[in-house]
Amino acid sequence: MTESLLIKPFRTSARGVAQVPGSKSITNRALILAALAEGETLLTGALFSRDTKILIQALRTLGFVIVDDEVAGTIRIQGNAGNIPVKEGSLHVGNAGTAARFLTAFLALSHQGKYAMDGDVAMRARPMSGLLNSLASSKTLAYTAEGKPAQAFPFVLQTSGQLKDLTVDASASSQLLSALLMVLPQRAGATVKMSGETVSEPFVVMTERMCAQFGRPLSRDAEGRWFCANPGAYISPQVYAIEPDATAASYFIALPAVTGQGSCVRLQGYQPKGLQGDTAFAEVAKLYGAEIDYQGDSARVRSWHNLRGGDFDFNQFSDTFLTLAALAPLADKPTIIRNIAHTRKQETDRLLAMATELNRLGVKVEPSPQALQADASLSSLTIYPSRDALLKTAQRGPTSIHTYEDHRMAMSFGILGSYDLLGDGTPWIKIEDPGCTGKTFPRFFQALEALRSSFVSIAIDGGAASGKSSTARAVAQHLGLMHVDTGAHYRTLTVGLLDAKATPSNLASVEKALAQFKLDSVLSGFSSRCVLNGKIASEAEIRSPEVNAHVSAFAALPAVRNYILNYQRSQVELARDAGFAGLIMEGRDIGSVVLPNATLRIFLEADAEARRLRRSTEGQADSIAQRDLLDSTRAAAPLICPTGAVRIDNTKLSLAEVVQEVERLIAPALAVS
């Protein structure tokens, strides 16, 4: 048990990029599919938790080459085209259900393999027999230590490498079916049929869609059998972006319901048509009053209009019912949450736990906790809102919420506690054992805290190859800022000006071309990209030797600088609107001209030789000394270290060290007392 945590209500709006971890279900499926693929796959946004680490370790034991970077959230995995390098070994799956099921089916692909498999005590009690019985029909057999057929962990798996007409009883867990579906395309002619009742549909659909994303779509015949019409090793998508966990995201969809006007929280990579069934929560939240819209592949949640009670069926996305239930005491009318009987057998009896804790806050619920205790078949909850009742309880001091070792109880009440009920920032909710969020979201309370930030603008200036772009990009990702590379603006204009046959020495030609230009921005990850006349110039185009040779001469012209100044300043509003915690803009005149009132101004420098070396290491044909001279001697907005800027000489610093130093400087500005 960790010590209890007093939740500090938000007295201001919430703002910033929610630091939601990657989805566990997608991370573990992607690991299996990438291992079975031909070629290398880079997984981005991956979850690093106990369960995913177990699967990574097991794959390494089986001979797969995997390079993971927890800080960057990436996993690089070398696929082996459907072959498993190690034919004999021991694997321990802890209490990781997905690893246990997925690995067992995966190992069945090994020709004449022999694997000793075990798990934690809890795992030994979890369902495996549906999968083991199914594989037995293709001569992959599981034995106990005594040599008898095994129905659960531990067992020795003797594999045949074949997959034929499989039938699986997956009524105990949809993972038993998903495990088989993922290996199905590896053997021509193999089929899988389900016996017994249907299982959790959204997770099976997730598996099917991911098989298709890795190039081997599954089909179903008239009898409901799955098969792959085009079998073979999976095809690596090269880079595969793992969606943020949709259940975890529900807390940050809910947060702007209880924080100040003007709240705007950004969920990078959150899509309504994503792979996770729990994204349905966004639709319910909208009915309840949430203000959600989508920008590219990301969602933006602003202050909710109101909180409208109502009648909701949470059967298909029940992990998120607690999130709504915790908002219900603040709604305008009662909230009914239906069809959640199965949640009574999860981490705890969630229905009873929620009813009990709402009661503790003075909120009336039906059925009452006593009635729920008496009748295990009750499957819905009605919550009657009453601010007066909450206030009455709060006046006696903070209420301690029991969390029953359930991460979702802790996170849901963390959101309710963020509401400034007493109007003066006094805490009124205390969470017992906040460490229980570690199961899926170890840094939940830090992520919540990070949204209590004020908007910052950071200006970074410096000469060529002083590290501006690399530093700004990394800082933007870590702190949830929007990154703007103004060098790319000048480079994009240069591409357009060269196309229009304008020359720096012929001002009229430049002005004529500029009059035909229209600039826009699109968001790509954490960066704002410049769009010229509807087109984003490629990296190759804007960094060509020809552009390198002309950009500084064009950039020295006041006509060009004036043309782009308002566009650059408008990026501040773009970042604010999109819900970023601020923006970080880099160039030559940002602290001096574009954003002279920036929250923090930084000047990066490195000696000329170091910078020349960096550029030549990148293989760029670029005379940076010449550009530096032009940039620092021009009359209009020359490259200077703005007064009051913090100078960082990074000649002898690594990129990581510069990033760390810049983040240290920004931290106090982001924090709101």
Question: Site mask, ligand CDP, residues 409-448, x = CB under 6 A?
Answer: ----------------------------------------
Enter the tokens of residue 30.
């992607």
CA distance 272 to 281: 9
Catalytic residue among 51, 319, 433, 631: 319
CA distance 103 to 105: 6
Neighbours of 151 (CB within 10 A): 14
CB 494, min distance to ligand CDP, A: 8
Give 452 or 614: the residue with its C-beta nearer to ligand CDP: 614
Among 287, 655, 667, 671, binds ligand CDP (CB under 6 A): 655
Instruction: Specify the 3-state DSSP secondary structure of 117.
Output: strand
Q: Per CB under 6 A, does 300 bind ligand CDP?
A: no
Give residues 532-561 in contact with ligand CDP (rule: CB under 6 A). 551-552, 555
Q: Of all residues in the chain, what percent are helix, strand and coil, respectively (each to 5)?
A: 40, 20, 40
- Total number of residues that touch ligand CDP (CB under 6 A): 28
Enter the tokens of residue 556.
């020295």
Block residue for tokens 């390098």: 85
Give 278 or 631: the residue with its C-beta nearer to ligand CDP: 631
Specify the stretch interacting with ligand CDP by CB under 6 A; choose among 322-330, 352-360, 375-383, 646-654. Answer: 646-654
CB 633, min distance to ligand CDP, A: 11
Q: Per CB under 6 A, does 285 bind ligand CDP?
A: no
Where would I find the H helices in 257-338? 280-288, 321-327
- Based on the residue annotation, tell me whether 577 is a catalytic residue of this protein: no
Q: Per CB under 6 A, does 467 bind ligand CDP?
A: yes
Q: Per CB under 6 A, does 187 bind ligand CDP?
A: no
Specify the stretch interacting with ligand CDP by CB under 6 A; choose among 52-60, 244-252, 406-414, 651-659. Answer: 651-659
Q: Per CB under 6 A, does 130 bind ligand CDP?
A: no
Give 181 or 519: the residue with its C-beta nearer to ligand CDP: 519
DSSP 450: H
Beta carbons of 177 and 191 less than 8 angstroms apart = no
Give 292 or 465: the residue with its C-beta nearer to ligand CDP: 465
- Which residue pairs from 514-521 have beta carbons closer than 8 angstroms and sit at least 24 positions apart in sequence? 514/559, 514/560, 514/563, 517/493, 517/563, 519/489, 519/564, 519/567, 521/571, 521/574
CB 548, min distance to ligand CDP, A: 8
CA dihedral 642, 646, 649, 654 (to 10 degrees): -130
Give residues 620-639 in contact with ligand CDP (rule: CB under 6 A). 627, 631
Give residues 559-598 in contact with ligand CDP (rule: CB under 6 A). 587-590
How far does Cα 513 stand from its chain's mean position?
A: 41
Q: Per CB under 6 A, does 486 bind ligand CDP?
A: yes
Q: Which residue minimizes CB distance to ligand CDP? A: 487
47-57: burial string, b at 16+ Cβ within 10 Å, e else: bbbebbbbbbb
Sheet holding 165-169, edge to edge: 165-169, 191-195, 226-227, 219-220
Q: Per CB under 6 A, does 490 bind ligand CDP?
A: yes
Among 159, 175, 403, 650, binds ligand CDP (CB under 6 A): 650
Among 32, 166, 275, 465, binds ligand CDP (CB under 6 A): 465
Q: Per CB under 6 A, does 243 bind ligand CDP?
A: no
Give 201 or 539: the residue with its C-beta nearer to ligand CDP: 539
Neighbouring-strand partners of residue 300: 266, 293
Catalytic annotation, residues: 319
